[in-house]
Amino acid sequence: MRFARRGTRAILAALALPLILLILWWVLTADSESYYLPPLSEILAAVDDVWLRSDRLSVDVLPSLLRLFAGFLLAVVMGVALGVAIGSSRRLRAFCEPVLEFLRAIPPPVLVPVLMLVAGIGDTMKVLVIVSGCVWPILLNTVEGVRAVDEVLVETARCYGLRGPARLWHLVIRSASPQIVAGLRQGLSIGIILMVISEMFAASNGLGFSIIQFQRTFAVTEMWTGILLLGLLGFLLATLMRLFERRALNWYFGLRQAQRGGSR
């Protein structure tokens, strides 16, 4: 009984404020004459026309997501591979660190015009932009994670003769995975930003392109639907990332809890 009540309360807590905000938005803009702020009812009504009933989902949204996916995946492979290499060797780390610190500090959006020169305005450019922005948090977090592998585990692995790919997978990557996943999370949110920016700067399709196109043609209601869609996309991708994190790091959360419980 009490359990059920607590469950209701949790649901209430999760839904109350979002609902209040939505209702406020709906009511306050209900007879809005403002050019920039059309009524929410109109925006929601337009979603159907703009996104669902046209081919925009396959022409604009899908290519955007595919580019994001390709860029992110490439960045993960490069970041983890380089990160393991750099993190495992003290000399290599000392050699690379200042350069990495500098490259990481360059705000990734400025690479859009740079890569446009090299790779034109096609898909290659956009994927490269996404890779060049995502790779740094993944790389640097992997380096940190690999560097901090438990000495005792390293010695133990040596005693048991663990080497080669098995050592890499079961010892190095596993130990570094909390940091690697933190890097993935940061990388993904930068990747979304770069996906949008690269399309806003120069493109002929994509989510960012269509939103900026709506703005340039003063189609304000359509623009708002695009903003909402992009917001929803950001939220969904972050949720997926969190589900992945739960799954991949289940052992780690358990370990941490056990350590905390044990020390008390």
Partner 1 sequence: MTSTLTAPARASRAGAASRAARSTTLLGVLGFATFLALLEVIPRTGLISPDYLPPLSRIGVALAELTGEAGFWTAITDTVQGWFLGLVIAVAAGIAAGFVIGTIPVLREFTASTIEFLRPIPSVALIPLAVLVFGTELRSVLLLVVYAAFWQVLVQVLYGVQDVDPVAQETARTFGLNRWARIRHVTWPTALPYVLTGVRLAAAVALILAITAELIIGAPGLGNEIGVAQSGGAVARMYALVIVTGLLGVAVNLLARRLERWLLSWHPSLRREVAA
Provide the binding-site residues for partner 1, judged by CB under 8 A: 13-18, 21, 36, 91, 94-99, 101-114, 116-118, 189, 192-193, 196-197, 200-201, 208, 211-212, 214-215, 218, 220, 223, 226-227, 230-231, 234-235, 237-238
Helices (H), ranges, the chain: 2-28, 40-47, 56, 62-88, 90-105, 111-119, 123-147, 151-159, 164-167, 174-201, 207-216, 220-248, 250-263
Closer to partner 1 at the Cβ: 28 or 106? 106
Give me the least distance between CB of 9 and partner 1, in Å please: 8
* Cα–Cα distance measured from residue 75 to residue 187, given in angstroms and rounded to the nearest whole number: 8
How far separated are the first and last CA of the chain, in Å rounded?
Answer: 31
* Cα–Cα distance measured from residue 162 to residue 146, given in angstroms and rounded to the nearest whole number: 17
Give me the least distance between CB of 94 and partner 1, in Å please: 4
Q: Kindly tell me the burial class for residue 143, based on how many C-beta atoms sit within 10 Å of its own C-beta (0-12, 13-18, 19 or more).
A: buried
Closer to partner 1 at the Cβ: 151 or 164? 151
Closer to partner 1 at the Cβ: 3 or 218? 218
Closer to partner 1 at the Cβ: 172 or 188? 188
Closer to partner 1 at the Cβ: 71 or 157? 71
Closer to partner 1 at the Cβ: 173 or 188? 188
> Residue 41 corresponds to which tokens in the numbers above?
């009812």
* Cα–Cα distance measured from residue 113 to residue 155, given in angstroms and rounded to the nearest whole number: 48
Give me the least distance between CB of 117 and partner 1, in Å please: 5
Give me the least distance between CB of 160 and partner 1, in Å please: 26
Give me the least distance between CB of 147 and partner 1, in Å please: 13
Give me the least distance between CB of 208 and partner 1, in Å please: 7
Task: Tell which residue, 171, 191, 196, 182, has the closest CA to residue 244.
Answer: 182
Tokens 């056990």 label which residue? 258
Return all residues near 39 (Cβ < 8 A) that are at least 6 apart. Answer: 26, 29, 30, 31, 32
